[in-house]
Amino acid sequence: MSQTYTGSDVLAAIASASAQLSERKEEINRLNVFPVPDGDTGTNMSLTLKSVVDNIAKLPANAGVAEVRRAITTGALMGARGNSGVITSQILRGLCEGCAEAEEVSTAAIDAAFSRAVEVAFQAVRKPVEGTILTVVKDMAAAAKHARKKKLSVDEALEAIVEEGYASVKRTPDLLPVLKENGVVDAGGFGLAILADAFTAALLGKSGPLGDELALARAGAAPKVAIEQINDWEGSKYTYCNEFLVDSDVLDKDEALDFLSTMGDCELCVGEKPKFKVHVHSNTPDKVLHYFLERGQISEVFIHNMKLQSVERNEKLAAEERSEHKPLGFVAVAAGSGMAKILESLGVDVVVSGGQTMNPSTKDLLDAVERVNADAVIILPNNSNIIMAAQSAAGLSEVPCAVVPTKSVPQAFSALFSADETASLEENVENMTSAFADTKTGEVTTAIKDSKDAHDNPIHNGDVIGIADGSIEAVGSSVEDVVMSLLDTMEAEDADTLTLLAGEDFSDEQLDALVERIESRFDELEVDAHRGEQPLYPIVFSVE
């Protein structure tokens, strides 16, 4: 028997579902949207849910059920982006309206909510198309009705709805020829299934998705449909996606929709007086805006050139496809664009943005690993605070993956020079780890509070400090003086090579002057200077 769920439980589940949708938006985006590129479906749906969560968060702690429903519907309408976002907002509105009279979460209330969601969603679209998100919500509603008739518990009903959602998504290629031709499922429907799954899992207190996504747990399910790009721009008559809010007491939705149908396609006008959301694909955004300006005030205007958007997307995907499969790939973390370029020139496939002040998550690193087209992948964390997340990502990766525990980008440079594609993953980890063992790293930055250096000398807020392999060894008033002091401490006179990386706030002139000063002091030292463009650290260097 399922437990009784409170309003707080439902709101927490909505927040969890929003987070899950945001995490998986790129997975949905790659499916594209029918019939023309119109923003990115996953991004648009996730922004719609985020707006809902943000609106709910503004409610007072003692807000009533009616206020919560209003916050959900208003947040969804105001935050809706693109066709998929607007339709999602109407599904949410219908769910709220359908259970308005319910005093608790019950199977009957769920049935009523989904039944109303179908009505509202189909009313929003002048020309409903089978095989889209509309089909999926209709099938989920049918599952809700079946659950009520069978007297299933709330938990059983929700799980049945999720299962049917995924099953419906799987059937979309049989209903929409363009999907079948390209071997994909409908992106909006897939997003809705993920949303329902995440909400249900959170409400029931279960970890991970309840459904096996497109593979499904249902007996006799066909193999998983591939997620690939649909290049369906060709043949579209319209260039611009127009969407905006309208505040009006006189707007007639039916008349507005008639007008929009003369301007283009994918026309939507949803909401109730005085708040409306408008969406249309058109070649004349000026005429669209003029019509609604004559009838009220407009705000949050977004006009996207879908043709350019399609070209950019296709170029990006083509670049991904050109990436040749190889035995060994690399993921590295770096904070500056210059550092990233050097790492890429040394063979790094994916550079994850991050460093001392912005440590990437395990998921960030795992996503990067999954983008590498290789038999095995090595992660170079380049910061002591990122090593554990890197190790977690390696442990979760489906592709053989390992970590070379670099604590700085210069250490990664040394490690990469010893990489050998013909060697095993384990041999590479061992050799690369040994390769950077003798690389000493120096970092220069500004103290943000009073403290003490490694020798108990005082450091004042604003002092320039020099860090040698994690230990504060130099304090001064200028970057140049601290670099020279660090080089003495790190015995640069006995080293062969010095690699300098200039930060984003350290000019070329300053870098040239510093190099000249170093070369005049250490005449046997080979200095290799580059633009690292890292934030906060004017100079990062290594001596070997």
Structure tokens at 113: 């909510």
Query: CA–CA separation, 48 vs 84, rounded Å?
Result: 9
Q: What is the pLDDT of residue 411?
A: 95
What 3-state class would DSSP assign to 377? Answer: strand
Residues with Cβ within 8 Å of 298's Cβ and at least 6 positions away in sequence, in order, are 244, 245, 246, 247, 289, 292
Cα 268 from chain centre = 27
8 Å CB contact between 327 and 523: no
In degrees, to the nearest 5, what angle opens at C-alpha 49 toward C-alphas 32 and 186?
25
Query: What beta strand segments (E) does 273-358 contain?
Result: 275-282, 297-305, 326-334, 350-353
Structure tokens at 481: 């003086």
Residue 269's closest CA among 41, 49, 90?
90
Residues with Cβ within 8 Å of 136's Cβ and at least 6 positions away in sequence, in order, are 165, 168, 169, 172, 186, 188, 189, 192, 193
Other CB atoms within a 10 A radius of the CB of residue 327 amount to: 14
8 Å CB contact between 511 and 502: yes
Other CB atoms within a 10 A radius of the CB of residue 311 amount to: 13
Structure tokens at 285: 């955004």
**Which run of H or E residues covers position 8?**
helix 7-23
Query: CA–CA separation, 479 vs 368, rounded Å?
Result: 34
What 3-state class would DSSP assign to 468? Answer: strand
Q: What is the pLDDT of residue 314?
A: 63
Q: What is the pLDDT of residue 34?
A: 36
Q: What is the pLDDT of residue 4?
A: 75
Structure tokens at 380: 């170079």
Q: What is the CATH topology of the domain spanning 323-435?
A: Rossmann fold (3.40.50)
State the pTM of this model: 0.52
Cα 137 from chain centre = 25
Residue 16's closest CA among 153, 204, 212, 162?
204
**Which run of H or E residues covers position 432?**
helix 425-435
User: Do 240-310 and 323-435 come out as alike in CATH topology?
Assistant: no
Q: Please, how many CA atoms are within 13 Å of residue 299, restricted to the half-sphere of its CB? A: 9
Q: What is the pLDDT of residue 357?
A: 61
Residues with Cβ within 8 Å of 470's Cβ and at least 6 positions away in sequence, in order, are 384, 407
> Which residue blocks in 150-269 are alpha helix, DSSP H?
154-175, 177-182, 187-203, 253-263
What 3-state class would DSSP assign to 543? Answer: strand
One-letter amino acid of 172:
T
> Which residue blocks in 30-153 are alpha helix, DSSP H?
41-57, 65-79, 82-98, 107-124, 133-149
- Alpha-carbon torsion (337, 341, 342, 346), positive or negative: positive
Q: What is the pLDDT of residue 325?
A: 86
8 Å CB contact between 272 and 124: no
Domain residue extents for the chain: 7-203, 240-310, 323-435, 440-543
Q: What is the pLDDT of residue 259?
A: 95
8 Å CB contact between 481 and 510: no
Match 């968060």 to its residue by tokens: 57
Estimate the share of the chain in helix, then strand, then coil, as percent rounded to the nearest 5: 50, 20, 35
Q: What is the pLDDT of residue 232?
A: 35
**How do residues 19-54 score in pLDDT, each as one tens digit?**
989 888 888 877 754 333 344 788 888 988 999 999
DSSP 8-state secondary structure symbol assigned to residue 222: P
Match 């007996």 to its residue by tokens: 219
Residues of the chain with pLDDT under 70: 1-3, 32-39, 182, 207-236, 309-323, 356-357
Domain range 7-203, its CATH number among 1.25.40.340, 2.60.40.10, 3.30.70.270, 3.40.720.10: 1.25.40.340
Strand partners of residue 451: 459
Q: Check: CATH 3.30.1180 for 440-543?
A: yes
Query: CA–CA separation, 350 vs 371, rounded Å?
Result: 8
What is the 3-state secondary structure of 227-260? Answer: CCCCCCCCCCCCCEEEEEEEECCCCCHHHHHHHH
* CATH architecture label of 240-310: 2-Layer Sandwich (3.30)
At residue 468, φ and ψ (nearest 5 deg) are -110, 110
**Which run of H or E residues covers position 403?**
strand 401-403
